[in-house]
Amino acid sequence: MKLLPFLLLLASPVLAAENRDAIFQKSIEAMFPKLVEIRRDIHMHPELPNEEVRTSKLVADRLKELGFTDIKTGVAKHGVVALLKGANDSPCVAVRADMDALPIKELRSTPYRSRNPGVMHACGHDVHTTCALGVAELLSKHKDLVNGSVKFLFQPAEEAMPATFKGDWGAKLMVAEGVMENPKPAAVFGLHTTATVQPAGVTDDAVHYLKAGQIGYTPGIDNANSDRFHIIIHGKMAHGSAPHKGVDAIAVAAEAVMALQMIKSRQTNTRQPLVISIGTIQGGDRENIIADKVELGGTVRTYDAKFRDGVIEQMHRILKGITEAHGASYEMEYRKTYPSIHNDLKLVEDTLPAFRRVVGEKNVIQLIPGMGGEDFSFFAQVVPGFYFRLGVANEEKGIIHGGHTPMYDCDEEAIKTGVAAMAAAVCDFLDRAAK
Ligand SMILES: [Zn+2]
Ligand SMILES: [Zn+2]
């Protein structure tokens, strides 16, 4: 009789999961030096979207070394998809990691800084790829503790192509090429690093302030619909001394830039989050020539898809009105680039206990949705998805700079957290699905 409570305890899923966490933790410690080596290798050799030839080879080679036999390369250009196969009728879950870098010149002087001039892993995708390879290694070593199949999606081209780019790329193209079928995962998980530390005295919305050892999440909406636009304003060339003989595209563009900002401040409900940013402007050939053409490029961020359609109409109305008023004309190419991520509420709720076991309750932090964009949403439109944040900031090490800046870096200790959290989330999910 005395044995009964003990046996019941052993059969408890919580205890089983805790035991598994402890086994994983030991393995992760042993794997860590190699993971750091992989991360630095990727960091030193960053590649732009749709150019991830070396990174994709590194990933495929590593998966082969780990004993994976089901590996597809060349998916959506340079993507890699690998399957860790469980029992035949067991459930499947997907883990996604993005692999591309940004056109930024790295300013840190670490020994592992970028060797590719003007290109940098300034969004942490080197760490995302490393964490997914870590999970692949860990779960392949402990297949007996994994209650199903795990599909690894190593994705190219997350950082988006220009509005003028023809065709699809990245996650959307991977989905179109069938990565969410055969087998179809029942859920998809992804993580993203965040290194920003809350500045002293700033008590704003604390969107993404996470230190290494912390995990952040948003139930429901996580980020914004992220779009791109490209505008051409056509005027008429004339001598700079006789502007009345032409139509000055630069003067018209200047007016358009200011008026487009009025959509947010004066023409939409202030309770609807909206960003309209113009990031590029080009025009003119010479100081004394009235420019006949100006090109503008920018991004629009919203949460609500219908509201976004209204903003696009307002942009057209403004551009039409201003150009007509001055005898100019315009063209606008508007691309609804990435839909916003909606984290599945049930999946979030079911996964949080795994995170709390791995990093402790106080280090699992609910965040406020941001205005960033991410194409993980295309996977999460097919099956329930959960995209969470991995804290990588470390003030003592000077790792406090935001993504998409030349000082971005990640505290490598966070790789352990990333692997442990993702592995626990995936294994817990398969435990529930296998029941
Ligand atoms: Zn990015
Ligand atoms: Zn990113």
273 and 357 both lie in a single domain: no
Closest C-alpha to 338, from 172, 184, 173 = 172
Catalytic residue among 209, 338, 387, 408: 338
Q: Are residues 197 and 231 in the same domain?
A: no
Strand partners, 335: 228
Q: Tell me which of 304, 338, 372 is where a domain ends.
A: 338
426/139 Cα distance (integer angstroms): 10
How many residues would you count in the chain? Answer: 435
Residues 195 and 251 in one domain: no
- Output the CA 158–ligand 2 centroid distance in Å: 7
Cα(338) to centroid(ligand 2), Å: 13
Instruction: Supply 179's token pair.
Output: 């990565």
Compute, in angstroms, the gap from residue 307 CA to the centroid of ligand 2: 25
DSSP H/E element including 311? helix 305-325
Exposure pattern of 154-180 as b/e (b: 16+ CB <10 Å)? Answer: bbbbbbbbebebeebbbbbbbbebebb
- Ligand 1 centroid–CA 148 distance in Å is 31
Could you tell me if 191 and 158 lie in one domain?
Answer: yes
Q: What ligand has the least distance to the C-alpha of 193? A: 2
Domain boundary, last residue among 299, 318, 338 = 338
What CATH number does the domain containing 330 carry? 3.30.70.360
Task: Tell me the CA distances in angstroms from 29 to 34, 95, 421, one per residue in order.
Answer: 10, 21, 14
**CATH number, domain with residue 154:** 3.40.630.10
| pLDDT tens sequence for the chain (435 residues) | 445 544 544 557 777 889 999 999 999 999 999 999 999 999 999 999 999 999 999 999 999 999 999 999 999 999 999 999 988 889 999 999 999 999 999 999 999 999 999 999 999 999 999 999 999 999 999 999 999 999 999 999 999 888 788 899 999 999 999 999 999 999 999 999 998 766 666 666 555 689 999 999 999 999 999 999 999 999 999 999 999 999 999 999 999 999 999 999 999 999 999 999 999 999 999 999 999 999 999 999 999 999 999 999 999 999 999 999 999 999 999 999 999 999 999 999 999 999 999 999 999 999 988 899 999 999 999 999 999 999 999 999 999 998 999 999 999 999 999 999 999 999 999 999 987
Domain identity same for 161 and 192: yes
Query: Does any domain span residue 97?
Result: yes
Catalytic residue among 47, 158, 159, 412: 412
The answer to whether residue 209 is catalytic is no
Q: Which domain holds residue 195?
A: 8-223+340-434
